A and B are shown apart, each in its own frame.
Chain A
């Protein structure tokens, strides 16, 4: 977030944050006293533009100047903090990129060596996995779709991430790690 404070000293912030005031002020009435048609007309033609509460959207809080003075130590301090943060982000980014570069180099080395060693294995390793291409396996599936076990067994699709990969959370799950996982064996068709 960038604040345009460079031209103003820290004290005289008031003028730019004053709540805007129009010339004619219309109050809003909740309970229609007289004829409802009159009230509706009045509400439509002269809507309330009193901004004395801090609830309407699109405005600052009523003590925004004071709050901001408590939040920001000074203009120079704010700019220093911004620069420190950007520097920190640069370090993090460089470190991440360096790690990715190292990993990529290792992958490239492995693939180059595989190319030299065996052509068939190399071609198979480079074959792209299309998650939609299920033609050969699907035919088997159509036969064995009765059992839910078989369906569950085929739920892991090559080329897609499994849905059991958890997103990291702030606290661990209540159930903990599932140590008692059993593989689902396909039952013979009887």
Chain B
């Protein structure tokens, strides 16, 4: 800022820490479309024009986990231990109330219960098959029929699917227990960089509205997204040699609920849904350092 006289109502560029209050911005004249070309120092609407150059909004689009977190070996062992204690101490199960005498379901339950007892406590528990005589044979037949029926019903879908095996980074079904974040491969002055979806601020727009608009512009409208709140969750100050003033990029958190990114291919070349560690590999060092504390570790 040169030594031009400034009106007392104009807010200084940086707040002076000695004053308790930061003075409100001067409500100056309307910024017309031609005022962008006017040199910055001459008008009192300095700050307002510059805001639309300095502030940009970016969206951290997150696909939250759809699978439960896998337990560590210690946690699994501890839960199994607690289950054994519970099985030793709990009230005897009133099976006569829940299962009709002589029904198929009862025999299935008895077989499963014997197996569980054997697994929990070991050899003396859980009746072995070579115990009774002829009446056990009919019961065994019933149990085998019940188990055969049961096997047909249960077809569990595996947790690791096609996308995990091929490691397809564009898939939204990869790594179900982790948070995936969207990165776009953009052209930036004949370089290709991986960045989050980003865009500028327009007149009459609030930050979260601009974040949504930029997201849909860069990634297409075939996505069901939800921006969580009006508050930004982080800030990145970029001061590269190209720009005159340092840029402030405000990050907004959003969730993707359905759909997929369909870039138009002009500025955005490619996209990827990555976990936090995978993002670190692709991003520039400075950008990553500004971003890493905002993301979830899981």
Residue of B nearest to A182 (CB): B222
Decide yes or no whether A60 CB sits under 8 A from chain B.
yes
In Å, the complex CA distance between A124 and B51 comes to 15
Cα-based distance from A102 to B294 in the complex (angstroms): 7
Indicate with 1 or 0, residue by residue over A141-179, a CB within 8 angstroms of chain B CB atoms.
Answer: 000000000000000100000101110111111101111
Question: In the complex the two chains form, what is the Cα distance from A49 to B37 in whole Å?
Answer: 97
CA distance A107 to B231 in the complex (A): 8
B287 at interface, CB cutoff 8 A? no
Residues B71-114 near A (CB distance < 8 A): 74-75, 78, 81-82, 84-92, 94-96
B258 A181 Cβ-Cβ under 8 A: yes
> Which chain B residues lie closer than 8 Å to A99 at the CB level?
296-297
> Chain A residues with Cβ under 8 A from B148's Cβ?
none
A-B interface pairs (CB < 8 A), number = 187
**A125 interface contact, C-beta 8 A:** yes
A47 to B14, CA, bound (A): 87
Taking the nearest CB of chain B, how far is it from the CB of A51, in angstroms? 11
Which segment of A24-32, A34-42, A111-119 sits at the interface? A111-119
Interface residues of B in 211-229 (CB under 8 A from A): 221-224, 226, 229
- Cross-chain contact A164 with B67 (CB below 8 angstroms): no
CA distance A102 to B208 in the complex (A): 22
Q: Cβ of A54: which chain B residues have Cβ within 8 Å of it?
A: 92
Task: List the B residue with the shortest CB-CB distance to A96.
Answer: B297
A162 CA to B156 CA, complexed, in Å: 28
Q: B120 on the interface (CB 8 Å rule)? A: yes
B157 near A171 with CB under 8 A, answer yes
Q: Of residues 63 to 102 in A, which have CB atoms within 8 Å of B's CB atoms?
A: 64, 66-68, 70-72, 81, 84-85, 88, 95, 99, 102
User: Are B91's CB and A57's CB within 8 A?
Assistant: yes
A55 contacts across to B, CB distance below 8 A: 92, 94-96
A110 lies within 8 A of chain B by Cβ: yes
Please state if A178 and B258 are interface contacts (CB–CB under 8 Å).
yes
- The answer to whether B208 touches A125 (Cβ under 8 A) is yes
Q: How far is the CA of A129 from the CA of B229 in the complex (A)?
A: 9
Is A138 part of the contact surface with B, judged by Cβ < 8 Å?
A: no
By size class, the interface of chain B is: 35 or more
Check if B226 sits within 8 Å of A162, measured CB to CB: yes
* Inter-chain contact B259/A179, CB cutoff 8 Å: yes
CB < 8 Å: which of A3, A57, A118, A168 contacts B68? A168
Closest beta carbon of chain B to A70's beta carbon, Å: 4
Smallest CB separation, B166 vs chain A (Å): 15
Q: Which residues of A contact B68 (CB under 8 A)?
A: 168-170
Q: Which parts of A1-57 form the interface with B (CB within 8 Å)?
A: 1, 3, 54-57
> Is A59 touching B92 in the complex (CB atoms < 8 A)?
yes
A-side interface size class: 35 or more
Taking the nearest CB of chain A, how far is it from the CB of B61, in angstroms? Answer: 14
B28 cross-chain contacts in A, Cβ below 8 A: none
Report A-chain residues with C-beta under 8 Å of the C-beta of B234: 106-107, 109-110
Do the beta carbons of A71 and B88 come within 8 Å of each other? Answer: yes
Out of B15, B75, B121, which one reaches A116, CB within 8 Å? B15
Q: Is the CB of A125 within 8 A of B226?
A: no
- Alpha-carbon distance between A151 and B37 when the two chains are bound, in angstroms: 45
Residue contact B230 to A129, C-beta cutoff 8 Å: yes
**B122 interface residue (CB < 8 Å to A):** yes
Partner of B64, one of A59, A126, A165: A165
Say yes or no: A109-B89 contact (C-beta < 8 A), given A67-B125, A183-B221: no
Instruction: Known A-B contacts: A70-B122, A182-B222. Give 19 more (CB < 8 A).
Output: A56-B92, A62-B92, A68-B85, A70-B84, A70-B121, A70-B124, A117-B55, A125-B207, A129-B229, A165-B64, A165-B257, A166-B66, A168-B66, A168-B176, A172-B66, A172-B67, A173-B157, A177-B171, A181-B222
Closest 7 CB pairs of A and B: A181-B259, A67-B88, A181-B258, A110-B235, A54-B92, A164-B257, A71-B84
Q: What are 21 inter-chain pairs, A to B, with CB distance below 8 A?
A: A1-B85, A59-B92, A106-B234, A106-B235, A109-B234, A110-B231, A114-B232, A118-B55, A119-B24, A121-B55, A125-B208, A129-B229, A165-B64, A168-B67, A169-B68, A170-B159, A171-B67, A171-B156, A180-B222, A181-B224, A183-B222
